[in-house]
């Protein structure tokens, strides 16, 4: 059963740190938008040298709380105090002057500027009245090295990958010392060594007696970092708990308010069906080399690897988003796909890892987002059939449990989990026989993760086949029937059954190809 919050909240502390004024205290903090209350009566205390995690499902109010504290929006009620003094921030700049900085979940960088220019934007260094590029490049290089980001400070941000953009954004926030750093899903687009490096940075901030507010859907990170954990549910505060007293399952059950059954649905015990998709000797210049694999009906095939292994670029080539040299067979027939439209027409659906930048039109309503890829089927003539769109949206909202207060919302107004379910519904509306899903649960809370895993298992049980590309090893192990591990643009090995362990995935993701293939067929 989920814990009783009244019994589990942390008792008052009486150490020296507790005797000092709180670095930050909120009391009865609330936010309303018209008649809708999104946050109600939240009170938290944060001390210097403390990591305080905020957890909750999508839509629980976590990001609203962070934006209130950092001056991006103003509260409808309640108070904020910094070092014992009441404050009212009208702008984020005022919050930063008071020592509070927010590292956003969204990437907020100027793509036309260099990395160094983004780090120092609005606070450029000068010498003799001129911008001191040399010093800014040197400091930028030092800060990026701390974060494990090896992009040149002179590179334009538009030419930088998503994970490195997040590290650049974190570097910008940490360029100056602050009293309190707020991280909103900082590792959502990071994997492996990048995550480890960031967690080390967070712990280092604590050692420097700074306060840290940390939001993450990755409960293993929360368990590892947090001194205290505050749980929000439906905009209300459930309680604050000592971090060491909560298991990951305790946290998950407090978030959703009920017991959670197994996170991953049972795997099928039926034998694999016939081959649906065969890819032979696929090469995407600069990213993937001579990759071959077979996908079977009723199968979930995972692709693992470190950032830069070429997984995303390989499948972007297969669905026509990049140039590719490959021999591809679908249902035993050779096909040549030169565009995403040809992939859809052939029966291959692709869910991008970047749902906000590439998957959805955030400023459009839900119905056009849902039906955009299936227009030919829903609107065979010259005119849009609004009734057809409305029916399709009603069915998708019901079938995929897309939680909305109005069907007239824009896609950007949905929580991350509901955006991902809308994107999944959009692709499945085209009735593909092969579904390729890149990072299916990035930035999504645990309850929505469980739902999406169930949707994926259900679609293969109905005769489709699915490829899952994921940076979360446990996700691949819990969900997939087989896992192929890529390294430096090539498949370095295959694992299945009891061999699917994090250590085996990590070994294949980092081992030299000759070593990995010394075992039978590259299998661990």
Q: How confident is the model at residue 1 (pLDDT cuts 50, 70, 90)?
A: very low
In angstroms, the CA 371 to CA 425 distance is 9
- Determine the pLDDT at residue 517: 47
**Strand blocks (E) in 386-521:** 434-438, 465-469, 482-487, 490-496
Q: How confident is the model at residue 108 (pLDDT cuts 50, 70, 90)?
A: confident
Q: What is the mean pLDDT of the chain?
A: 87
Give the distance from CA 48 to its chain's centroid. Answer: 28
**Topology agreement, domain 5-99+178-256 and domain 275-518:** yes
Q: How confident is the model at residue 194 (pLDDT cuts 50, 70, 90)?
A: confident
What's the whole-number mean pLDDT along residues 484-513? 91
Q: How confident is the model at residue 236 (pLDDT cuts 50, 70, 90)?
A: very high
Residue extents of the structural domains in the chain? 5-99+178-256, 107-177, 275-518
User: How far from 234 is each of 194, 247, 255, 289, CA to CA, in Å?
Assistant: 32, 22, 9, 47
For the segment 297-330, what is each residue's pLDDT rounded down to a tens digit?
999 999 999 878 999 999 999 999 999 999 999 9
- Determine the pLDDT at residue 7: 37
What's the whole-number mean pLDDT along residues 228-249? 93
| Model confidence at 3: pLDDT above 80 | no
What's the whole-number mean pLDDT along residues 273-296? 96
In angstroms, the CA 470 to CA 302 distance is 7
Contact 158, 165 (CB under 8 A): no
How would CATH label the architecture of 5-99+178-256? 3-Layer(aba) Sandwich (3.40)
Rg (CA), the chain: 24
For the domain covering 275-518, report its CATH number: 3.40.50.300
| Model confidence at 19: pLDDT above 60 | no
For the segment 57-83, what is each residue's pLDDT rounded down to a tens digit?
877 889 899 999 999 999 999 999 999
Higher per-residue confidence, 312 vs 390? 312
- Determine the pLDDT at residue 257: 79
For the segment 334-343, what is each residue's pLDDT rounded down to a tens digit?
999 999 999 9
What's the whole-number mean pLDDT along residues 422-445? 92
What is the H or E stretch that residue 53 is in? strand 51-55
What's the whole-number mean pLDDT along residues 127-156? 90
Q: How confident is the model at residue 143 (pLDDT cuts 50, 70, 90)?
A: confident
Output DSSP code: residue 500. -
Contacts of range 408-411, beta carbons closer than 8 Å, 24 or more positions apart:
408/365, 408/366, 409/365, 409/366, 410/362, 410/363, 410/364, 410/365, 410/366, 411/360, 411/361, 411/362, 411/363, 411/364, 411/365, 411/366, 411/369
In angstroms, the CA 318 to CA 490 distance is 15
Structure tokens at 122: 């609005």
Give the whole-number percent of the chain exceeding pLDDT 90: 55
| Model confidence at 14: pLDDT above 50 | no
- Determine the pLDDT at residue 513: 61
Sheet holding 333-335, edge to edge: 288-296, 275-284, 325-330, 333-335
């Amino acid at each position: 059963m989920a814990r009783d919050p009244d019994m589990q909240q942390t008792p008052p502390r009486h150490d020296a740190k507790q005797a000092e004024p709180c670095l930050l205290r909120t009391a009865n903090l609330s936010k309303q938008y018209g008649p809708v209350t999104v946050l109600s009566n939240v009170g938290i205390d944060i001390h210097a040298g403390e990591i305080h995690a905020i957890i909750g499902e999508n839509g629980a109010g976590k990001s609203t709380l962070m934006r209130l504290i950092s001056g991006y929006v103003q509260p409808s009620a309640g108070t904020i105090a910094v070092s014992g003094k009441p404050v009212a921030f009208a702008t984020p700049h005022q919050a930063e002057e008071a020592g509070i900085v927010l590292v956003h979940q969204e990437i907020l960088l100027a793509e036309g500027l260099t990395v160094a220019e983004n780090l120092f934007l609005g606070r450029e260094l000068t010498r003799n009245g001129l911008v001191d590029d040399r010093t800014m490049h040197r400091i930028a290089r030092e800060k990026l090295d701390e974060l494990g980001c090896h992009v040149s400070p002179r590179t334009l941000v538009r030419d930088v990958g998503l994970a490195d953009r997040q590290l650049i954004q974190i570097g910008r926030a940490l360029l100056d010392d602050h009293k309190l750093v707020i991280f909103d899903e900082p590792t959502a687009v990071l994997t492996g060594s990048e995550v480890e490096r960031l967690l080390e940075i967070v712990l280092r901030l604590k050692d420097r007696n700074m306060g840290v507010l940390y939001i993450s859907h990755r409960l293993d990170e929360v368990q590892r970092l947090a001194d205290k954990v505050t749980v929000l549910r439906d905009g209300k505060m459930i309680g604050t708990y000592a971090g060491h007293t909560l298991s990951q399952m305790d946290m998950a059950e407090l978030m959703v308010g009920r017991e959670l059954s197994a996170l991953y649905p049972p795997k099928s015990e039926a034998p694999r069906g016939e081959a649906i998709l065969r890819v032979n000797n696929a090469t995407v210049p600069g990213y993937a080399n001579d990759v071959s694999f077979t996908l079977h009906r009723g199968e979930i095939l995972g692709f693992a690897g470190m950032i830069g292994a070429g997984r995303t670029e390989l499948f972007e080539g297969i669905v026509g988003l990049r140039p590719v040299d490959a021999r591809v067979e679908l249902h035993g027939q050779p096909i040549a796909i030169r565009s995403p439209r040809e992939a859809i027409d052939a029966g291959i659906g692709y869910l991008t890892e970047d749902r906000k930048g590439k998957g959805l039109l955030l400023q459009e309503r839900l119905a056009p987002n849902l039906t955009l890829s299936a227009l030919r089927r829903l609107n065979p003539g010259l005119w849009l059939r609004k009734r057809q769109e409305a029916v399709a949206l009603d069915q998708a909202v019901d079938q995929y449990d897309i939680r909305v207060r109005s069907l007239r919302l824009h896609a950007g107004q949905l929580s991350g989990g509901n955006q991902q379910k809308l994107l999944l519904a959009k692709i499945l509306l085209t009735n593909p026989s092969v579904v390729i899903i890149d990072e299916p649960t990035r930035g999504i809370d645990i309850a929505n993760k469980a739902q999406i895993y169930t949707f994926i298992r259900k679609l293969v049980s109905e005769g489709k086949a699915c490829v899952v590309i994921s940076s979360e090893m446990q996700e691949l192990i819990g969900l997939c029937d087989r896992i192929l591990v890529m390294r430096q643009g090539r498949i370095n090995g295959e694992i299945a059954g009891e061999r699917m362990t994090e250590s085996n995935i990590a070994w294949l993701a980092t081992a030299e190809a000759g070593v990995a293939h010394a075992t039978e067929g590259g299998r661990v």
